[in-house]
Amino acid sequence: MADMELTGAEIVVRCLRDEGIKHVFGYPGGAVLNIYDEIYKQKDFEHILVRHEQAAVHAADAYARCTGQVGVAIVTSGPGATNAVTGIATAYMDSIPMVVITGQVPTAAIGQDAFQEVDTVGITRPCVKHNFLVKDVRELATTIKKAFYIAATGRPGPVVVDVPKDVTQHKCEYAYPKSVTMRSYNPTSKGHAGQIKKAAQMLLEAKRPMIYTGGGVVLGNAAPQVAELVRLLGYPITSTLMGLGGYPSPDPLFLGMLGMHGTIEANMAMQHCDVLLAVGARFDDRVVGNPKHFAKEAHRIIHIDVDPSSISKRVRVDVPIVGEVGQVLDEIIKHIKTGKEKPDQQAIKAWWAQIELWRSQDCLKYDRSSSVIKPQYVVEKLYEVTQGDAYVTSDVGQHQMWAAQYYKFAKPRRWINSGGLGTMGFGLPAAMGVQKAHPDAVVACITGEGSIQMNIQELSTCKEWNLPLKIILLNNGYLGMVRQWQEFFYEERYAESYMTSLPDFVKLAEAYGHVGMTIEKPEDVEPALREAFGKYKDRLVFLNFLTDPRENVFPMIPAGKGLSEMILV
Amino acid sequence: MRHIISLLMENEAGALSRVSGLFSARGYNIESLTVAPTEDATLSRMTIVTRGSDDVIEQITKQLNKLIDIVKVQDLTDGSHIERELMLVKVRASGEMREEMKRMSDIFRGHILDVSDKTYTIELTGPGTKLDAFLAAIDPAAILETVRTGASGIGRGDRVMKI
Ligand SMILES: Cc1ncc(C[n+]2csc(CCOP(=O)(O)OP(=O)(O)O)c2C)c(N)n1
C-alpha cells in the first residue's frame, strides 16, 4: 500500500480524514473541482455546502469556538478566496484555530492574471497566523499537517493553504506525518517559576484585588483553573466580551462584563483595585479606553498570556508570565494552597463592601413596565426559557451587547461572537457551525435586522441540513448601534442608520421553508419563545421581535474616555 | 532610539514580505533593510534598522518572533556590535575637481571602481555615519548618483547568532 501514489486532491481529502475532521464547510469552483470530486467519493467527513464563502468560514470558525477543535473550510480561487477573507480576518482577530484550503490557478498560470486568479497568500497575509502556497504535491501532506499544528498551538489562529489546481492532479506517495516540528516555531511554553511565585505572593498581599479574564481563558480551556483560583481566594472577577462563560456569570463573585458597555461594578473595581490579575486578556481599546487613565490605582499588574506580544503592548505590567494560562494558574493555585499565607480577610471584606455599593446601583436596570418590547427583556426571557444552557451566537451591534449583558453564560464556549473584528453577518453562519458540531444542543442566534441581512442566504443551507436554530431578531428598525452613537455624539443626525423597506421576515423565513413569527407585545415574548423551543423544537424558527426602536445600550463609556464619563440609563 | 535588529529566517518565498508587511501594518518605521541567504542555504539573514521608543522596539521584536518563518531575532543594539554599509557614489570628476575627488576618496578609504572623462564611481564602506560624512564633505553639486545597501550588522567578540 505504501507505494501507492495518490493525486493531490486525494491527498487533501486523506489528510482531512487522518486529521480526524468530521465536518468541512465549503463552496466549490473551478480550481477545487478535483478536490470536490474526491469529497464526493468519500464518507469520512461531511461537507456542508453553504450559500456564500464568507458563511463557510464563519461556520468553520464557530465550529472551532464551540468545540475547541480546528475548523475547516474549503473555497475556490479568486472570488471564492476573496469572499472568505472577512471570515478569515474574523477568526484571526479572535485567535480561532482554523484551516482554510483555497484553490489556486495552476502553478504555470500564477502571476499571469489568469481567470479567477488572486494573490491569496498576499491578500490574507495580514489576517492569518500563517499561510502557505503549495507548489509541489510532495509537500502537500506535510504542509497540511503543519497548518493544523500551527492553527491549534500557541496562540491559535487561522492558517490558509493555497493549492494550485495542477498540484491537485499531480501524484505522489502519501503518508500523513504523525507530528511535525519546525525550528522556527516552538509554541508551547511553561510559565516562569519565579514569576509565578511572585504572582502568588502579590495576590495574597492584595487589599483590593481584581481578576480580569479574557478569551484566552476560553481558548486555553482554563475555566476550571479560573474557578478554582477565584473560589480559593474569594476575589472579584470580571471578564471581557470574549471571555464570557470562562467563569460562571450567575456566581456572586462575578461582577459582569467590563469595558465600554461593562457594568459599573466591574469597571470601578478595575479602576480602584491595587492588584490586578489579567488572564488571557489583552487590554484592548474597548476594555481599557484610554491607557493613560486605566487602573491608575493598580500598583501592581500581573499578566498571564500565551502570546508574549500581548504583554505590555498597551499597558505596562509588573509581573508578565508567558505560558499556557491553565498551566500557569495551576502553579499559582499550588503555591497559594501550600503556602501559609492567607488573604487579608479584613481588607477583602471592606473591598467587597465597596463593590456591593457599586453593584447596588443596578446599572443594568431597564423599564420593565414598557408597553413596547424591550430588547433586554427578550434576552432575559431567552435565558429563562433555555435555562441558561443554550449556545448563543450573535452578530454585531446593540443586540450583541444586550446578549452579553443579559444572557448569563455559565459555561465556556457557549457564547460565540465576533469580538475583535466585529463582523456583522457572523451570527447565522456561526449558529450553523455550532449546530453541526452539537446536533442536539439548543442554539440561538441573537441578531439585528441589519446584521441578519448580511448572510440571510444561509437560511437555505439551514433548510438543506435541517438545522433547528432559533433566530432571535431584535428588530428595532435601525442600525441600532450606529443610531446610538449618532444620538449621543452627532446631535441626533441619523445618517443612513434607518432602513425602510425591510422584508417581511415571517414570509422570508417561510419562503426558505422555516417557521416565522412576529412578536409585537411584551406579554407575547415568553409564549413565543416557549413555542419556538417547544413545539417547534426541531424546526428553524425565525422570531422577529419588534423592539423599542430608541432603546440604547447602557452603561456606556465613550470611546477613548475614562470611567468618570460613563453614561448611565 | 535607533535600533539594529538581526533576524534569521527560513529562506522561503514570501518571508521578506511577511516582515515588511508587519512593519507597514503596525506602523513601525524601517530605516533600512538588507537580506541575503547565509552559508546555510535554508536560512536568510536580515538586518533591519528601525527607530522607536523602548515600548515600540519591544513590540517589534515580539511581533517578529511571532512570525512563523522567523527562527531567531536579536536586537544588536543590546550589546556591542559592528555595522557596515556599502555605498556606490558617482561624482563629477572633471578639471580641478578630479584630483580633489580622488583625495577625498582616499581620506575616506574609498575605492574608485570606475572612471570616465568626467566622473568617478567610488565604493565606500563603513557605518552609515561615515557614508553620510563623505557626502557632506564633498560639493553637493558634484554628486550625480548614490546607491546604498543599508546596514548589515553582527555582534562583537563571542556574541554569535546561530541556530
Ligand atoms: C460588516 C460590518 N459593517 C458595518 C459595521 C458597523 N456596524 C456596527 S454595529 C452596526 C449596526 C448593526 O445593526 P443591527 O444589525 O440592526 O443591530 P442593532 O445594533 O440594531 O442591534 C453597524 C452598521 C460592522 N460592524 N460590520
When divided into structural domains, chain B yields a total of 2
* B144 contact A CB<8A: no
C-alpha cell belonging to residue A24: 468541512
The answer to whether B25 contacts A126, with C-beta atoms less than 8 Å apart, is yes
* pLDDT, tens digit (0-9, with 9 covering 90-100), for A234-285: 999 999 999 999 999 999 999 999 999 999 999 999 999 999 999 999 998 8
From the CA of A144, how many Å to the nearest CA of chain B?
A: 15
Confidence (pLDDT) at A499: 87
pLDDT of residue A564 exceeding 80, the answer is no
Secondary structure (DSSP) of A413-458 = T-EE---SS--TT-HHHHHHHHHHHSTTS-EEEEE-TTTGGGSGGG
Q: Is A569 on the interface with B (CB under 8 A)?
A: no
Longest dimension (CA), chain B: 57
Predicted complex ipTM: 0.92
Per residue in A495-505, pLDDT (tens digit) is 999 988 999 99
Of all residues in chain A, the one with the smallest CA distance to B57 is: A313
The CA-based dihedral angle spanning residues A431, A436, A439, A443, taken in that order and rounded to the nearest 10 degrees = 0
All three cell numbers of A357: 455599593
Q: Are residues B31 and B66 in the same domain?
A: yes
Nearest CA in chain A to B60: A309
Domain boundaries, chain A: 2-173, 193-359, 375-546
| Of B150 and A4, more confident | B150
Residues B107 and B145 in one domain: yes
Position A128 pLDDT exceeds 60: yes
Ligand 1 within 6 A of A398 CB?
A: yes
Q: In residues, how long is chain B?
A: 163
CB atoms inside a 10 Å sphere around CB A222: 26
Are B37 and B12 part of one and the same domain? yes
CA end-to-end span of chain A, whole Å?
Answer: 70
Say yes or no: B62 and B116 in one domain. no
Give the atom of ligand 1 at the shortest distance from the alpha carbon of A399. 21
Q: Which atom of ligand 1 is nearest to the CA of A452?
A: 15
- Which ligand 1 atom is nearest residue A397's CA? 19
Residue A119 CB contacts under 8 Å (≥ 6 apart), including other chains: none
Question: A408-446, pLDDT tens digit by residue?
Answer: 999 999 999 999 999 999 999 999 999 999 999 999 999
| DSSP secondary structure of A470-482 | EEEEEE-SB-HHH
Q: What is the pLDDT of residues A461-477, one digit of tens each?
A: 999 999 999 999 999 99
Domain boundary (B78, B98, B130) is at: B78
Answer yes or no: are the C-beta atoms of A94 and A393 closer than 8 Å.
no
Which residue range is the domain that position B124 belongs to? 82-152
Grid coordinates of A253: 463573585
Same domain, B6 and B59: yes
Please give the CATH topology (third level) of the domain spanning A375-546. Rossmann fold (3.40.50)
Looking at the structure, give the CATH architecture of the domain made up of residues A193-359: 3-Layer(aba) Sandwich (3.40)
pLDDT digits (tens, 9 = 90+) for A72-124: 999 999 999 999 999 999 999 999 999 999 999 999 999 999 999 999 999 99
pTM: predicted TM-score of the whole model, two decimal places: 0.96
User: What is the distance in angstroms between the Cα of B104 and the nearest Cα belonging to chain A?
Assistant: 46
Question: A441 touching B, CB under 8 A?
Answer: no
Ligand 1 pocket test target in A424, A484, A505, A556 with most atoms within 8 Å of CB: A424
B42 CB near a chain A CB, below 8 Å? no
Nearest to A184 among B25, B58, B68 (CB): B68
Mode of pairing for the β-strands spanning B70-75 and B2-10: antiparallel
Decide if A487 contacts A498 (C-beta within 8 A): no
Residue that finishes a domain, picked among B43, B78, B113? B78
d(C-alpha A551, C-alpha A117), whole Å: 46
Residues B16 and B57 in one domain: yes
Q: If you write DSSP's letter for every residue of B57-79 in order, what string do you get?
A: HHHHHHHHHHSTTEEEEEEGGGS
Quick one: pLDDT at residue A3? Answer: 59
- B68–A185: do the CB atoms touch at under 8 Å? yes
Name A71's Cβ contacts closer than 8 Å, sequence gap at least 6.
A25, A59, A60, A61, A62, A63, A64, A91, A96, A97, A98, A99, A433
Verify whether ligand 1 is closer than 6 Å to residue A86 (CB atom). Answer: no
Give me the mean pLDDT over the A66-70 stretch: 98
One domain for residues B72 and B88: no
CB A519 within 8 A of CB A528: yes
Q: What is the pLDDT of residue A20?
A: 98
3-state SS, A378-399, equals HHHHHHHHCCCCCEEEECCCHH
Q: Does A2 score more than 60 pLDDT?
A: no
Query: Residue A555: is the preceding peptide bond cis (ω within 30°)?
Result: yes
Cα–Cα distance, A87 to A63 (Å, whole number): 13
Q: Does A111 touch chain B (CB under 8 A)?
A: no
The answer to whether B163 faces chain A, any CB pair under 8 Å, is yes
Taking CB atoms and an 8 Å cutoff, what residues of chain A touch B62?
Answer: 308-309
Q: Which atom of ligand 1 is nearest to the CA of A481?
A: 19
SS3 B163: coil
Q: What CATH number should be reported for the domain holding residue B16?
A: 3.30.70.260
Q: Which tens digit of pLDDT belongs to each residue from A180-195?
A: 999 999 987 899 999 9
User: How far is the C-alpha of A426 from the C-alpha of A451, rounded, in Å?
Assistant: 8
Residues of A noted as catalytic:
53, 115-116, 165, 481
